[in-house]
Amino acid sequence: MNRTLLGLVALILAAGVGAYGDPTRLAQVKQAFASIEPDITGSIGSHFNSGWREVAVSRGHAGQFAVQASVNGVGAPMVVDTGASSVVLTYETAKAAGLPLEMLDYDVELETASGHTKGARLTLDRLAVGKLVEHSVPALVVPQGQLKSNLLGMSFLDRLESWQVHADRLILRGYP
């Protein structure tokens, strides 16, 4: 906010100096403004749909929104599931991401599209979907063969500034 205000003041000063015709002072104001302009436009752009912290996902043939995420640096395809209270990983994805599977306690009751199963709680160091990166994300992992797809649930989506569906596009928007 302070940078935005500073930028507006610089613009007003530049306009005032330009009106009085002092080219030396106008050049100084322009140089000062140029040094802060990327910061100002970056923060304003994140609020006004610049794509700086935004990911758009097209609906797939099955009607779902699928994303290519990264769990602790390992690629993980996920289906966006607003009905899932948590991010849920398959055993295979959790293993590939180097999560400590041998230390997990499968004590969380889960109802999935495939039926009833149990999951184990864990925390993902890093979960990224495009430009959106979150740290220390609560998640669940299910036993081997219990789930076909990883689910991008509310433990990730709740951390975003907003998410919305427009026609056949899901827009995930992060905080600046």
Handedness of CA 55, 58, 59, 61 (dihedral sign): negative
- Note whether 85 and 28 are same-domain residues: no
Host domain of residue 33: 2-47
On whether both 96 and 23 belong to a single domain, the answer is: no
Is residue 21 helix, strand or coil?
coil
Which CATH number do you get for residue 156? Answer: 2.40.70.10
Mean pLDDT of 161-171: 95
Do 43 and 66 lie in one domain? The reply is no
Say yes or no to pLDDT of 54 above 70: yes
Q: Do residue 145 and residue 123 come from a single domain?
A: yes
Q: What's the number of domains the chain is made of?
A: 2
- Beta strand residue intervals within the chain, DSSP E: 54-58, 66-71, 74-80, 87-89, 106-112, 115-129, 132-141, 150-152, 162-166, 169-173
- How far is Cα 165 from Cα 176, in angstroms, rounded to an integer? 20
Does residue 94 share a domain with residue 7? no
Is residue 4 scored above 70 in pLDDT? Answer: no
Residue 14 and residue 75 in one domain: no
CA 86, 91, 96, 100 torsion: positive or negative?
Answer: positive
Which residue, 90, 93, 99, 95, is CA-closest to 119?
90
CA nearest neighbour of 106 among 149, 156, 140: 140
Q: Is the pLDDT of residue 94 over 90?
A: yes
3-25 as b/e, with b when 16 or more CB fall inside 10 Å?
eeeebeebeebbeebeeeeeeee
**What's the confidence (pLDDT) of residue 99?**
96
The pTM (predicted TM-score) of the whole model is 0.70
Q: pLDDT tens digits for 102-115?
A: 999 999 999 887 78
Cα distance between residue 94 and residue 51, in whole Å:
30
What is the reported pLDDT for 81? 95
Q: What percent of the chain has pLDDT over 90?
A: 65
